[in-house]
Amino acid sequence: MTFSAIAANTIFWFLPLITFAIFKLLLPVRTFRRMMTRWIMAMGENWVSLNAAILSVSNSTQWQVRGTEGLNASDWYLVIVNHQTWTDIVALQTVLNRRIPFLKFFIKQQLIWFPVLGIAWWAMDMPFMKRYSKSYLAKHPEKKGQDLEATRVACQKFRDTPTTVINFIEGTRVTAEKQAKRNSPFRHLLPPRAGGIALALSSMGSMFDAILDVTIVYPTGPTKFWDMMCGEFDRIIIEINKRAVEPWMISGDYTNDRDFRSRFHRWLTGVWTEKDARITDIYSENTA
């Protein structure tokens, strides 16, 4: 019943969203498109709110959320977060909805041609990134740097509309098997991958008001999506640490400058080391 209600809510908002997306595509007037974008974002926020209401009926979830003070839906943010389960996305949407701009993900440019969803992502101003493979660049060295520049140009539209870009910088959900395979030095996390966040900061860094470093902990173990549908989403702890976007982060060349790349890796590893220690403390506090 919960899944059916969420599916119905999704269809209810998806149909008008696609209609507005088509209008936005066919009428390339900047003022009109900005108005359509605001309405489409409002639909997305309503969709999240109704999903949260549905889940609150079927789950008696204990939410412990810290760090939402001072967040503003009129600011620009880059969100970095640890990743354990698909429930993470639902939890983040629920906690951050209307506190900050609607969450957006970097999407490969080829996916804009994905049937129906491609135009929906475009209408919601999801940032499409253009990436060339190493083998392609080896054959076409003149293209080096053009992918980053294309992504940077595509992100210029966010200067007109407050934006939140989210990056799961581990690249995948953490498991013991993945930790062993990657030889992770962390107790609760996978090693962070810096490329995505470096791309976001290179493309939009001057726009971001802050980096939101989010830590998610499920004290009784990660809740799977279907567990949540079945009313077994019992407890979650979310801590938000606001970090400054420092000038050096947006002025370097991650792709070509080895020293900058090393400095960026050291900074990100330090952030992840703090996060891993904090997760250990949270588990200790909740099992004492």
Per-residue pLDDT of 96-137, as tens digits, reads 999 999 988 877 777 777 776 677 777 777 777 766 666 766
The CATH code of domain 61-285 reads 3.40.1130
Q: Which amino acid belongs to residue 121? A: W
User: Would you say 155 and 177 are in contact if contact means Cβ atoms under 8 Å apart?
Assistant: no
Average pLDDT estimate for 44-66: 93
**Which of these, 6, 209, 198, lies nearest to 93 by C-alpha position?**
6
Structure tokens at 63: 């939410």
The distance of Cα 38 from the centroid of its chain, to the nearest Å, equals 19
Q: What's the pLDDT at 112?
A: 74
Per-residue pLDDT tens over the stretch 136-163: 667 767 666 666 666 676 677 777 788 8
| Position 209 confidence tier, pLDDT thresholds 50, 70, 90 | very high
CA distance 17 to 48: 14
What are the sequence ranges of the domains in the chain? 61-285
**Over the range 189-203, which residues count as b (16 or more CB within 10 Å of their CB) and which as e?**
bbbbbbbbbbbbbbb
Average pLDDT estimate for 177-203: 88
| DSSP 8-state symbol, 141 | G
pTM (2 d.p.): 0.87
